[in-house]
Amino acid sequence: MDYFPIFIDIVQRPCLVVGGGDIAYRKINLLLKADAQITCISPEICDGVALLAKDNKITVVNRGFEISDVNAQVLIVSATDDAVLNTQVSDLAKAANIPVNVVDSPDLCSFIMPSIVDRSPIVIAISSAGKAPVLARLIRAKLESTIPNAYGKLASLAGNFRDQVKAKFNNIEDRRYFWEKAFSGIVAEKVFAGKTDEAQVDLQAQLDASTDSEIGEVYLVGGGPGDPDLLTFKALRLIQQADVILHDRLVSDEVMELVRRDAELIYVGKERDNHSVPQDGINQLLVDLAKQGRRVCRLKGGDPFIFGRGGEEIETLAENNIPFQVVPGITAASGCSTYSGIPLTHRDYSQSCRFVTGHLKDGSMNLPWNELAVEQQTIVFYMALKGAQHLSEQLIAHGMRSAMPVALVEKGTTPDHKVHTTTLAELPHLVANETIRAPTLIIVGEVVKLRKKLNWFDAEKQS
């Protein structure tokens, strides 16, 4: 290591910043996050530094740097564009054994300021030893996007219980096991869901050993339309910590590649008239697995609450007092239309949009056709490929123009994404004469005309 990573306590301790420009302002703000007592010395100061002084957050001395200024400081930052002055500050600080940082001059520093991910009291520092600060910031950005803000609350909760856990478990391995279970189980999930009070009760219960028959938890997670980059951060976190994954046929292979490698995978996919596991069986399986103390992810294509039967599943969980949470996903209508260059609403073409399932629970397609066959509206049909002829006939019979534009989006957002465009009258002919495979979404409306102009994802595969 070029630098030994260390965290220093500067709470209410004197720190000196030499320089009053924008760079000094950024460094001052970092030090303020650690509640330092800051003196800024500079003949001139920027508006940001002036505002901090006006709010009595720092002390500003409007003059040049003097040798005596280093006295009694616990940390010094030099942020000027004067190389001679920066060298002088560095030499004086090092001679007094005071940690010093000179901005953009690693050779003059006894410490460097890393890129920081702040989830206080959890703090992560990333450093490139001054060789590639932009790369360090990029790494920080990746960590920022994958570490929930609530980790700080989780750490604070753990701190409140640290002494109790230490008193109960003499063996360090037992303590480690207890905390690993807490940090990867329902206690952590309740903190992430904003239920800190409930998490505290559960953690106390675990510590009191009253949860020998601990119930697990179920996550209903929307896997989106296929592209794994469309998963939410929360969805990714939960599918990677679940012990069991119940997944359906609409979850793409790319999304399945992201699940935990040692998780048990149970396929519960459904096709029209072919259900590998009946819905009632899935509902009960979720209950049974949770009662075994397992973390269960019900991973669905699209969104669990948009034609995903999520409501039916959580009804059963609620009846059996099984903890659960639901994570929305990008539904197929939004994902497929966006990747096809077809806006679902547009001021010139469509002022409303309706999502419609292609077949009801009893297998029929008994829909309110009069409400659907109107102008200035976009209709998105889910699971309607086999019923394409029927929906074409009914919409035309109820007054919709036979020339109304229609798009069929096949395997939307995936590498096999393909869009077929036609008219309402020609829709049955297209389905009968082209090889179109599920999952396919049917979009009906004037907005389909915009595809030629707005298509961006598969410009070379228009049909």
The reply, when asked if residue 59 is annotated as ligand binding, is no
Question: Which residue out of 69, 202, 227, 248 is catalytically annotated?
Answer: 248
Is 9 labeled as catalytic in the residue annotation? no
The reply, when asked if residue 332 is annotated as ligand binding, is yes
Which residue reads 């675990």 in tokens?
Answer: 206
Do the beta carbons of residue 228 and residue 208 sit within 8 Å? Answer: no
The reply, when asked if residue 266 is annotated as ligand binding, is no
**Pairing mode of beta strands 217-222, 440-444:** unpaired
| Residues making up the chain, counted from first to last | 463
DSSP 44-104: S--HHHHHHHHTTSSEEE-S---GGGGTT-SEEEE--S-HHHHHHHHHHHHHTT--EEETT
Output phi, psi for 321, to 5 deg: 55, 40
Burial of 302 (0-12, 13-18, 19+ CB in 10 A): buried
The reply, when asked if residue 273 is annotated as ligand binding, is no
Is 270 labeled as catalytic in the residue annotation? yes
Do the beta carbons of residue 372 and residue 436 sit within 8 Å? Answer: no
CA torsion sign for 190, 196, 198, 202 is positive
The reply, when asked if residue 133 is annotated as ligand binding, is no
The reply, when asked if residue 225 is annotated as ligand binding, is yes
The reply, when asked if residue 20 is annotated as ligand binding, is no
Question: Which residue out of 94, 195, 234, 270 is catalytically annotated?
Answer: 270
Bridge partners of 75? 15
Those residues whose C-beta lies under 8 Å from the C-beta of residue 72, and which sit 6 or more positions away, are 14
The reply, when asked if residue 415 is annotated as ligand binding, is no
Distances (CA, A) of 374 to 343, 368, 369: 18, 11, 9
The reply, when asked if residue 421 is annotated as ligand binding, is no
The reply, when asked if residue 306 is annotated as ligand binding, is yes
The reply, when asked if residue 23 is annotated as ligand binding, is yes
Both structure tokens of 291 = 């009662």
The reply, when asked if residue 14 is annotated as ligand binding, is no
The reply, when asked if residue 44 is annotated as ligand binding, is yes
Those residues whose C-beta lies under 8 Å from the C-beta of residue 192, and which sit 6 or more positions away, are 148, 150, 154, 234
| Beta strand ranges found along 249-404 (DSSP E) | 264-267, 270-271, 274-275, 295-300, 324-327, 352-357, 377-382
Helices 151-168 & 172-183, crossing angle to 10 degrees? 150
Q: Which residues are annotated as a binding site for S-adenosyl-L-methionine?
A: 225, 301-303, 306, 331-332, 383, 412
Question: Which residues have a catalytic role annotated?
Answer: 248, 270
Q: Which residues are annotated as a binding site?
A: 22-23, 43-44, 225, 301-303, 306, 331-332, 383, 412
Q: Which residues are annotated as a binding site for NAD(+)?
A: 22-23, 43-44
